[in-house]
Amino acid sequence: MNSNFERNNIAELEGYVSGEQRNDPDLIKLNTNENAYPASPQTQQALETINIEDLRRYPQPTSDNFRRAAAALHQIDPSNIIATRGGDELLRLLLTTFVDPGAAVGMTDLTYSLYPILTRIQDAHPFAVALTNDWKLPLNFTEQINAESCQLTFVVNPHAPTGTLTSAADLIKISNNINGLLVIDEAYVDFVEDPDHDLSRFAANSRNVVLLRSLSKGYGLAGLRFGYGVGPQHLIEPMLRKTRDSYNLDAISQALATAAIQDQVYAKENWKRVNAHREELVKELTKMGFDCIPSQANFVLATVPDASATSAEAIYHALRTENLLVRYFPDERISNKLRITVGRPEEQARLLALLAPILGISAA
Amino acid sequence: MNSNFERNNIAELEGYVSGEQRNDPDLIKLNTNENAYPASPQTQQALETINIEDLRRYPQPTSDNFRRAAAALHQIDPSNIIATRGGDELLRLLLTTFVDPGAAVGMTDLTYSLYPILTRIQDAHPFAVALTNDWKLPLNFTEQINAESCQLTFVVNPHAPTGTLTSAADLIKISNNINGLLVIDEAYVDFVEDPDHDLSRFAANSRNVVLLRSLSKGYGLAGLRFGYGVGPQHLIEPMLRKTRDSYNLDAISQALATAAIQDQVYAKENWKRVNAHREELVKELTKMGFDCIPSQANFVLATVPDASATSAEAIYHALRTENLLVRYFPDERISNKLRITVGRPEEQARLLALLAPILGISAA
């Protein structure tokens, strides 16, 4: 304990810095992978039926209505589901419940930057396996993880921040051979085009797999903070009954999240539309000389043309001056790239119109 | 790690069991200390201005609008405040940030039953100091806590489940002499009658004190899950910037909580009304032979008359059969008592009407 009472592992930690959240109606925000469109009209209807009097009492402690709806969606049992305050809460609960201080936690390099921070909060240590040059898991991934005795391993799929997809078959093989837990963070999985890419029933019946799902991206509800985990009962139950804060989800978000996942017709239309915009964005960026990593998420990691005199960082700043945000990461492996969230057509048109003069290309 | 992957401290743990939350419009619910009345009409107005489109984007990461409003209320700086998902999240953050696995965490016996559970989740060990026979802190409380080297100590004030109040002066003295952190859980403080009982400015300028405030009881918003902590910057900052889940509070609850605490006229009227109902409840229970511990909270811990042939547990079950819930705790020190939430006059009248025949007393 240092003089400020902080534990040593916390004192040494730098906190997570989220993407810029500026509140400005004129801002075009393509920096934090929010859905281009709002949640379904049925969610709006659910919101309108809520009254302040409904909030006087405690909410359902374990979000059972939502869990039943999610179970029906995935054709599994509610006991295979835990509802959480965004995916972040699930990540934390997994570490709290299954990872001892001092243990190793597996992940890839690059990956979602929150994983090593949450690992250090648990006083465990991150073990990062380098991705291949084309951002895939290396063939000996499992062997490296097992050699380090990782109690738990995070794989984000589709991968962030590149958008690349590892196949369900490859992940099943990894889970069968890995000694610890495998957490597959599917925050972006709704944008995967292959309708057969579905690991939920596999996870529910697995020995060691928990899937993370989020309503932030696929359902246009980043402001609601709602996610869920899918896994076998022996992994879900300890988080649901023991380590979860006793009332982790408020009554309003439970009602809205349930309405959102029950309107699959709207959701699937949304994903199709966002994916069509993604293809359009990639096509136009490619025309301008950007190299776009094939993405199955609602963002694109685009490499600035070699010939460009303007660096990714300078482009980021130039766009920001024009009230358009994209994400720039200083990490040297991607410091020549920009991560661009798929936006509405008019937002993407504005981006492309701004990029042309910055790169010194005449607009089409 | 056992065969189910759970950490040993988690595997050994029994989870927290919350009071029964049954959803039945005919149920009279005097078991979990919800406010008898809903939140202010301004909160309802805030709810009605929210649109699903507002939820597409991430919320304010650190709830800055709420923190400014709470700071204005307490005449302190926003940097002295952290907004949390109910008081529960603050309790957990305090342990995560300031208590090492293996360390001792101080508390009283009896106390809020969640403290030892959260302590064990952190793999620390609870050190419980017995209260005096009249449910006060013993004179050597600080010495006992320091002798055990408690890194952090929880004191709930007004006390749960008895409702007794420790004075601000006594708590200041304890905080000055205690070596570790002192967390004063003020979940019920809004119902304290003395308007001068206010520790917020003291805590904000202290070396080692964090106050917990909740909107669940005083503001009629148990379903919203919103609370906050008040303390010096060196204790608030590590929780706010490092250990807190990156977006711990959704956009709707931030807006509603801000509206609720800004309507102090309504809030103060509410507390006055609830306190008047409490006095009425105590008066009537006393007439029936119950012994009520003097309470400064929105509940009463009432001892069943010695002459009663019906035990507290039997009374609890008899009331439950009649669709009226109160709280019974099997702990032997209070197994002859019932904890009764202050209700609306018609709810309390129903309770008293049901109690008379159960106790074999003719109704007044």
Q: Which helix (H) or strand (E) holds B200?
A: helix B200-204
Say yes or no for a CB contact (<8 Å) between A221 and B252: no
B227: its two tokens: 């609370």
**CB within 8 Å of chain A, chain B residues 65-124:** 85-86, 88-89, 92, 96-101, 114, 117, 121, 123
Does A34 lie at the interface with B, CB-CB under 8 angstroms? yes
Question: Strands B81-84 and A324-325: what pairing?
Answer: unpaired
* Percent above pLDDT 70 for chain B: 98
B60 chain-A contacts, CB cut-off 8 A: 21, 23
B50: closest chain A residue by CA? A47
CA distance B198 to B190: 10
Whose tokens are 């107005």? That residue is B45
Confidence of residue B1 (pLDDT cuts 50, 70, 90): very low
pLDDT, tens digit (0-9, with 9 covering 90-100), for B107-124: 999 999 999 999 999 999
Q: Quick one: which H or E segment has residue B325?
A: strand B324-325
Minimal Cβ distance to A34: which of B44, B56, B225 = B56
SS3 of residue A361 by DSSP: coil
Chain segment B260-288, per-residue pLDDT in tens:
999 999 999 999 999 999 999 999 999 99
Specify the pLDDT at position A23: 73
User: Where do the DSSP E strands lie in A123-260?
Assistant: 125-130, 150-156, 181-185, 209-214, 227-230
Q: Is A61 on the interface with B (CB under 8 A)?
A: yes
User: Is A186 near chain B, with CB under 8 Å?
Assistant: no
A95: nearest Cα among B270, B241, B268, B6? B6
ipTM, two decimals, is: 0.96
State the architecture of A41-263 in CATH terms. 3-Layer(aba) Sandwich (3.40)
Can you give the pLDDT at residue B364?
47
Domain B41-262 has CATH 3.40.50.670: no
Residues 131-150 of A with CB under 8 A from B: none
pLDDT of residue B3: 61
Q: What's the angle, vertex CA B230, arms to CA B225 and CA B231, rounded to 5?
A: 145
- Residue B256 has a pLDDT of 98
Which residue stretches of chain A have pLDDT < 70?
1-3, 362-364
Asked if A243 is an interface residue toward chain B (Cβ–Cβ < 8 A), one would say yes
Dump the DSSP string for B209-229: EEEEEESSSTTS-GGG--EEE
Q: Which residues of B touch A34 (CB under 8 A)?
A: 56-58
Which residue does chain B place closest to A249, by CA atoms?
B225
Q: What is the pLDDT of residue B362?
A: 59
Do the Cβ atoms of B5 and A123 come within 8 Å? no
Q: Classify domain A8-38+265-359 at the CATH topology level.
A: Aspartate Aminotransferase, domain 1 (3.90.1150)
Q: Does domain B17-38+265-359 have CATH number 3.40.640.10?
A: no
Separation in Å, CA of B313 to nearest CA in chain A: 24
Kindly report each contact of residues A193-196 with a partner whose C-beta sits within 8 Å and lies 24 or more positions away, as own/partner.
A193/A275, A193/A296, A196/A168
Taking only residues 211 to 240 of chain B, the set having a beta carbon closer than 8 angstroms to any beta carbon of chain A reads: 216, 220-226, 234-235, 238
Rounded distance, CA B265 to CA B119, Å? Answer: 38
Q: Tell whether B253 is within 8 A of chain A (Cβ).
A: yes
pTM of the predicted model as reported, rounded to 2 decimal places: 0.96
Does the pLDDT at position B225 exceed 60?
yes
pLDDT at B317 over 50: yes
Nearest residue on chain B to A48, alpha-carbon basis: B48
DSSP per residue, A44-109? HHHHHT--GGGGSS---TT-HHHHHHHHHHHTS-GGGEEEESHHHHHHHHHHHHH--TT-EEEEEE
Enter the tokens of residue B154: 């929880």
Q: Break chain B into its structural domains and give their ranges.
A: 17-38+265-359, 41-262
3-state class of B303 per DSSP?
strand
Which of B39, B50, B250 is nearest residue A225 as measured by Cβ atoms? B250
Q: Which residues pair with B343 in a beta bridge?
A: none
Question: Could you tell me which of B287, B329, B322 has the C-alpha nearest to residue B32?
Answer: B329
Q: Do B98 and A6 touch (CB under 8 A)?
A: yes
Among A58, A88, A121, whose Cβ lies nearest the Cβ of B247?
A: A88
**pLDDT tens digits, B337-357:** 999 999 999 999 999 999 999
- Domains A8-38+265-359 and A41-263 belong to one CATH topology: no
Q: Which of residues 316-345 of A touch B (CB under 8 A)?
A: none
Q: Specify the DSSP class assigned to residue A189.
A: G
A152-192 pLDDT per residue, tens: 999 999 999 999 999 999 999 999 999 999 999 999 999 99
Q: What is the pLDDT of residue A362?
A: 59
